Amino acid sequence: MATKHPRPLSPHLTVWRWGPNMAVSILHRATGVALSIGGLAVLTWWLIAIAEGPEAYDGFSAAAKHPLGILVLIGLTWSFFQHLFSGIRHLVTDTGANFELGANKRSAVLTVIGSILATAAVWFYLLGVQK
């Protein structure tokens, strides 16, 4: 076959050309893993700290208010919104809709813009009121 541009062979990171759709698809998996491991670990630790007593809760609070802790929590908040918006987009495509190239690409970009805006709103509020 003497084609100049061979067709893509398999759905693999090193073969496919990057675009918003692919990036958001990968992000959906990455944020899913982050929420499954990190998000659920923080949720469980938080509940145990509340149940255990004031000292345990102080320990959790100190870690959560440490700059590194805040960074992790901001990352988990963004993962939550990214996975949520991208998840809604997946539910729509599951019905067979939104496969037009332009609309599909635009909705992929929108999930990222939405997740960044939502994360910024939550954290400007949280850090602003100093809960």
Q: Is 38 a residue that touches another protein (CB under 8 A)?
A: no
Task: Work out how close the CB of 13 gets to another protein at its nearest, in angstroms, rounded to a whole number.
Answer: 11
> Which contacts (CB < 8 Å, 24+ apart) does range 72-79 have?
72/38, 72/42, 73/42, 74/119, 74/123, 75/34, 75/38, 76/34, 76/35, 76/38, 76/39, 76/42, 77/119, 77/122, 77/123, 78/31, 78/115, 78/116, 78/119, 79/31, 79/34, 79/35, 79/38, 79/39
- Please tell me whether residue 122 binds another protein under the rule CB under 8 A: yes
Determine which residue in the list 23, 33, 97, 116 makes contact with another protein, applying CB under 8 A.
Answer: 33
Total interface residues for another protein by CB under 8 A: 28
Query: Which of positions 56-75 make contact with another protein (CB under 8 A)?
Result: 57
Taking the C-alpha atoms of residue 43 and residue 81, their distance in angstroms, rounded to an integer, is 16
CB of 57 to another protein, least distance (A): 4
4 or 55: CB nearest another protein: 55
The answer to the question of residue 5 lying near another protein (CB under 8 A) is: no
Shortest Å, Cβ 61 to another protein: 8
Q: How far apart are CA 28 and CA 103, in angstroms?
A: 18
Q: Which residues here bind another protein, judged by CB under 8 A?
A: 29, 32-33, 35-36, 39-41, 43-44, 47-48, 50-51, 53-54, 57, 77, 80, 84, 87-88, 91, 94, 122, 125-126, 131
